[in-house]
Chain A
Amino acid sequence: MALELAADNLSFSYKSRQVLQDISFEVKSGDFLGIIGPNGSGKTTLIKLLDGILSPEQGHIKLDGVKLADIARIKIARRIAVVSQGLWLNFSLNVQQLVLMGRYPYLGRMRFEGSCDYEIAKRVMELTDVCGLERRYYHELSGGERQRVLLAKALAQEPELLLLDEPTVYLDINHTLDFFDLIKKMNKEQGLTVVVVSHDINLAADYADRIILLKSGRLFAQGIPHQVITVENINAVYGKKVLVDTNPVTLGPRVTLFSELLSRLAVDADL
């Protein structure tokens, strides 16, 4: 299953506000790509462009050499799945219904799920550890459970490429680690290609093999985490002083925030 998603010179604006400009990069089978950048730098918009939900104003995205705009939505949905930050539902749906909705791109003429769809739903629910929740309603679940259910729904699409838009933004550190461990395992063992947007630089640095750093809609730097996450780059993009060293556990770059106020207070207290 080779997959190649190539963004070429993407630009996009909402009304008059330019959100993304001249973005070019590639995602290949087996990649684990992290996209980082401050709020408003266009991360979520980029994810929507990569899935073809939005169309770029200039430039194009090609999936295996074919423009996304020329591929039927349902065919994209069989190859690319998205996990968002969460759902706001006005009507109650239970976990089993939600996970089975991931099978929509494969529904046959009768428009009902067959035994094969139930097998796949069962498998991804076991994988994401949401067994026992199948009759519970989504709105009754905890944040960690909700994100695992959304992951199960995305995996039920049997995607080759998984796009994650800050999937753990509302989760505790333990659930965040479990979530990303699971994604990383599938990336390593099954060759699932992953693109994750995160505002947590350290998280992206630890899990991604390659990082894209956005600054106000432009691609500021890309490369392996140690090349991209440097004191100079972070300072230039976020406008804050940071310390960068090596995480002793993961050996990735580690960013420590440097608050001038707190450091001054600490020095004062020392004296």
Chain B
Amino acid sequence: MLRLTPGLFGLKSVLKCCAALLILLILSVLSALCFGPAKISPIEIVNIIRGGFAGNILRDSKDVIILSIRLPRIMLAGLIGAALGASGAIFQALLRNPLADPYILGISSGAAVGAILVITSGYAAGGWGIPLFSFIGALLTMSLVFYVAKARQMINTNTLLLAGVIVNSFFSAIIMLMLSLSSGHDLQGIIYWLMGDLGAADYHKLALILPYILLGVIILYLYTPKINLLLLGEDEAAQLGVEVERTKKILYLLASLITAAAVSVCGIIGFVGLIIPHMVRLMWGNDYRLLLPASFFLGGSFLIIADTIARTIISPVELPVGVVTAICGTPFFIYLLRTRKVL
């Protein structure tokens, strides 16, 4: 007698899995708040945050450390990690390629050119120069790749991938050129940006990118049943009732926009967008109705933990967070790959 049960892929279990990951995210935020050069006990932290909610902000130095240094940085790390996890998952489905990540189509290098221009020219624009110009760089790259890949109103995924890789390597060459021409002082800033840096976090940046990322992910979530069908191939998806060309364009634009927003405030934090969707796949399989929100929440926790390690492990020196994401992520990923056979 055949019995079919929704298993992981019913609405209830999606809500349960997401609730579990949300709890993990909250725990990561709370524990990350406890780490730092200044020793502040968890009880004090809870009191400070409650005070913050009540409007009694910035009474003493501990308030300042928690509410205007650690908390915005942790929240930004969470948001960026979530954005990269979600957009990585989308790029993997769009390109039908498990190796895809948010940067594969060159958005990061376009953003980098913008950021390096600002760093080397010294045009800071009150701290907004780098985010602004890297966002512009990202958007220009995104349009360029889209324009190159578009032929006869159709987007061929292989062409898109090739266009992205080509544009990416072109901008990488430009980055190398700019690096070799820049002075020692600028160089460190550039390297930190290229490896991802959350040190300049504040609430303004958070508020600036939050709408892009949140709205983008919510709209993408509505497309998750269509994304599932795209995994079968474009003809098969069309056959099952998906308007493939329109769906691909929307996925490309939204995932690119989310990536551009993330990259513009914190540089190129690698590995999160590649590894987080695969971690979720290996745990829970390939249904995007679960995979997308789970990658979003897990990406957030992962980057919060990685950034906490980056800023505390050899304190007072801070490591670029991208170094930590790769060093922590790789062994865990290899372990998952070895214990589970399917992707």
Contact = CB atoms under 8 A, between A and B. Distances in A.
Contacts of B342: 92, 137
Contacts of B239: 51, 53, 77, 81-82
Given A96-B4, A126-B2, 8 more contacts: A51-B239, A53-B239, A74-B241, A91-B281, A104-B229, A110-B11, A112-B6, A131-B2
Contact of A122 (B2, B9, B231, B286): B2
A101 interface: yes
A112 B235 contact: no
A91 B286 contact: yes
Contacts of B42: none
B231 A107 contact: no
A107 B240 CA distance: 12
A102 B4 CA distance: 15
Contacts of A48: 235
A51 B242 CA distance: 13
Interface string A108-134: 001111000010011001100001101
| Contact size range, A | 35 or more
29 contacts: A76-B241, A77-B240, A82-B239, A87-B233, A90-B96, A90-B97, A91-B92, A91-B98, A91-B231, A92-B342, A93-B286, A96-B7, A97-B9, A97-B285, A97-B287, A101-B228, A102-B240, A104-B225, A107-B225, A111-B289, A112-B11, A113-B10, A118-B4, A118-B6, A122-B2, A125-B4, A131-B2, A134-B4, A137-B342
Interface in B210-248: 222, 224-225, 228-229, 231-233, 235-236, 238-243
Given A87-B232, A90-B96, A125-B2, A101 B240 contact: yes
B279 to A, nearest CB: 14
Contacts of B98: 90-91
Contact of B232 (A100, A101, A105, A107): A101
Nearest to A156: B240
A118 B14 CA distance: 17
B283 interface: no
A104 B240 contact: yes
B23 interface: no
Interface string B230-268: 011101101111110000000000000000000000000
B343 interface: yes
A13 B115 CA distance: 47
Interface in A147-173: 157
Contacts of A132: 2
A190 to B, nearest CB: 20
Contact of B4 (A88, A91, A107, A122): A122
Interface in A76-90: 76-78, 81-82, 84, 87-90
A89 B243 CA distance: 20
A67 interface: no
A73 B233 contact: no
